[in-house]
Structure 1
Amino acid sequence: MFSCMCSRAVHIEVIEAMSTSSFINALRRFFAVRGPAKQIRSDCGTNFIGASRDLEMVKTNPGFNSVEEYLHTQGCTWVFNPPHASHMGGAWERMIGIARRILDCMLLEQRRSHLTHEVLTTLMAEVAAIMNARPLIPVSSDPESLLILTPATLLTLKTGSTPPPPPSGSYQEAHLIREEWKRVQGLADTFWNRWKHEYLKTLQLRHKWQGKRQNLQEGDIVLLKDNQAKRNQWPTGIITKTLPGDDGLVRKIQVEVVKDGTRKSFSRPVTEVVLLLSPKSDSAN
């Protein structure tokens, strides 16, 4: 998995073998699709040392020189973080950690049936599309133009996300589906449902309510936790009304969402929304 330090986009490559040749081919495919990179960064922990041995990239093996020479000819350098400093790669470690936990659970459930190369590569493309559709920061506070900036927007220069294929039966029992494209969509839906919950946890920290925190305010832009939303869709809205309790704490809000030119208003508890931008607080600071 490659993660861009500028756009925060991810790119996933499937390799056939843990060899230097497969590793260089993966880099070549990455450069061919995304363009050349000036620098590659990675950690130097025990897990990477073990992987580098499997990739024959340790300096005692001749494969290391071939990879180093290839990167040099491509005008690219490889920088290793110090050992025991995984926090220095937090920008990509968080994405890798979440995706790996979900994929590990999913692939363990698929042990009875083998995934073909076509299914696996298509699934990884769907996974990358889901991860690149995550919101980064809202562009506008206009309730009629709630455009969310995503890594996919920066890559394609297009708004919106790739819609899922039209429903054709149930994709839930992915391991029982004989048609490969339906099986891929079932696995992609499973990843989306798990990814949505795992990623939202990183946006909204749940501390014990032992101290007062700033209430949500009218005009704040929030992300709704909608279980009925389709894949790659992150419903966003603007708070139109807050309903504080007797103690002055806001636990219930009114949220307005604009979709396809239609305005809809919803009543939600504060636990079901994630604050993205607070114009009033930013202007006050």
Structure 2
Amino acid sequence: MQQTYFAEDIRRVKKGVEGQGVCKFLNPFCETFGYNLLKVGGRQELASLPQMHPVLLAIEAIFNSRPIAPLSSDPNDCKALIPAHFIIGNSLKALPERAIVAENDINHHDEWSCIIAVKQRFWHQCSREYLSELQSRTKWVRDQPNIQVNALVITHEDNMPPQHWITGRVISVIPGKDNRVRVVEVKTPKCIMRRPIHKLALLLV
């Protein structure tokens, strides 16, 4: 694919042409300046490795912030175990940043604005796919047990900032006439919310 559509860009990269944005259109793979980078999210505005470095760090932080299991069996503990606990022994922190929801929100003359845009696009895609993976895809094939009280879940919320996962404990279930649970009440560190089960991802021990 790259050889077909980006032959000229690849030729210039192999010659060591830097500083002219020759890498920005290589998609999805680009071997540039001695580093193997996987470029995702479409055509990028960031061309060089120094510009991509903050993005790669942000992507690493997103992966290391994913909830993978309950941190304890305490029904009052809403925290989840994340990969960062194995690396630094604590959760990761993310500074507040302006949400970029449309292309015209990006200031293409501001490098940091472009970095934030790439980071947020990756976050929205990654978080949706991760929650989808956690949700069982066999529910249409065979019966699944009802979600239980005290189970730790991730709630799917739109427009959440990067590295921000809402986890909580199920405090009550609301079965239907067929005795199947489709709605539950979840207690998070900040509030109690009622959510349909298709908006939840169960974290197993």
Q: Partners of 1:242 and 1:267 in 2: how far apart?
A: 10
Of structures 1 and 2, the larger Rg is shown by 1
Q: Partners of 2:100 and 2:203 in 1: how far apart?
A: 34
1:1-285 matched pairs, under 5 angstroms: 103-104=39-40, 106=41, 108-110=42-44, 113-159=45-91, 161-167=92-98, 170=100, 172-173=102-103, 176-259=107-190, 264-277=191-204
What amino acid maps onto 1:190 in structure 2? R
Q: Partners of 2:100 and 2:169 in 1: how far apart?
A: 34
User: Could you say which structure has the higher helix fraction?
Assistant: 1
SS at structure 1 position matched to 2:189: strand
Q: Partners of 1:266 and 1:176 in 2: how far apart?
A: 37
Gaps of 5+ in 1: 1-16, 19-50, 56-98, 279-285
SS at structure 1 position matched to 2:177: coil
CA 1:184–1:171: 2 relative to 1, 3 Å: farther
What is the CA-CA distance between 1:172 and the residue it aligns to?
Answer: 4.1
* Aligned-residue CA RMSD (Å): 2.7
CA 1:231–1:219: 2 relative to 1, 3 Å: same
SS at structure 2 position matched to 1:228: coil
What is the CA-CA distance between 1:208 and the residue it aligns to?
Answer: 4.9
CA 1:164–1:187: 2 relative to 1, 3 Å: farther
Count the aligned residue pairs. Answer: 172
SS at structure 2 position matched to 1:231: coil
Q: Partners of 1:243 and 1:175 in 2: how far apart?
A: 44
What is the CA-CA distance between 1:224 and the residue it aligns to?
Answer: 0.8
What amino acid maps onto 1:151 in structure 2? P
- Return the TM-score normalized by structure 2: 0.73
CA 1:137–1:208: 2 relative to 1, 3 Å: closer
8 A Cα contact 2:106 2:113, kept in partner: no
1:155-203 deviations in whole A, cap 9, x for unaligned?
11223x2213432x74743765221112111110110000001122221
SS at structure 1 position matched to 2:188: strand
Q: Once superposed, which parts of structure 1, at least 4 consecutive aligned residues long, lie more than 6 Å away?
A: none
